[in-house]
Amino acid sequence: MPTTPATAANSSSTGTAEAIMLELVDENGTTIGTAEKLAAHQAPGQLHRAFSVFLFDEQGRLLLQRRALGKYHSPGVWSNTCCGHPYPGEAPFAAAARRTYEELGISPSLLAEAGTVRYNHPDPASGLVEQEFNHLFVGMAQEQVRADPEEVGETAFVTAAELTERHARAPFSAWFMTVLDAARPAIRELTGPGAGW
């Protein structure tokens, strides 16, 4: 992983796992502090910065991932291409590109900002809460996916119609439809009207 001021501050030289810190924000997305990752997600949840990435292939199909079964939050459910949290002080764009590479082994092409969305989604299965100010990004996946099995259980490229069918029969993350709907204008601009998004 490339070392930046943000990643250097969030890695350990001793090889021991350090607490992952998130950036707490107010309703306008202004940073107001930090909190440990799990603590920020425990009910009722603390509003924190997050990102969601939507990558598409040349046919306008969305790359989905099924979260690995070992994930502490929302394991085994389908979700958008990549989502996560910037380290404190890390730009959301840089975090989105970093985590997409870490999880899926690809560097997004034409990655562009697609707005922000704020939501509060409890996860009934875990009791954790997604209280997030989420930065949205859309782009292209033009490399072969090489997913990290500790992060990703499975991937699939789907058309808009296939997503509707899959969403009706398979479990998806609590936040998926909220972030997808918020990103749709940018998705349509990227994929064109014929893709059906």
Asked about 132 being catalytic, the answer comes back as: yes
Q: How far apart are the first and last CA of the chain?
A: 33
Asked about 83 being catalytic, the answer comes back as: yes
Catalytic residue among 90, 103, 130, 132: 132
Catalytic residue among 23, 82, 83, 90: 83
Distance CA 94, CA 86 (A): 8
Distance CA 62, CA 55 (A): 6
Cβ(95)–Cβ(180) under 8 Å? no
Q: Which of 114, 118, 121, 116 is nearest to 55 (CA)?
A: 114
E strands in 3-128? 21-25, 31-36, 48-56, 62-67, 78-79, 82-84, 109-122
Residues labelled as active-site residues: 83, 132
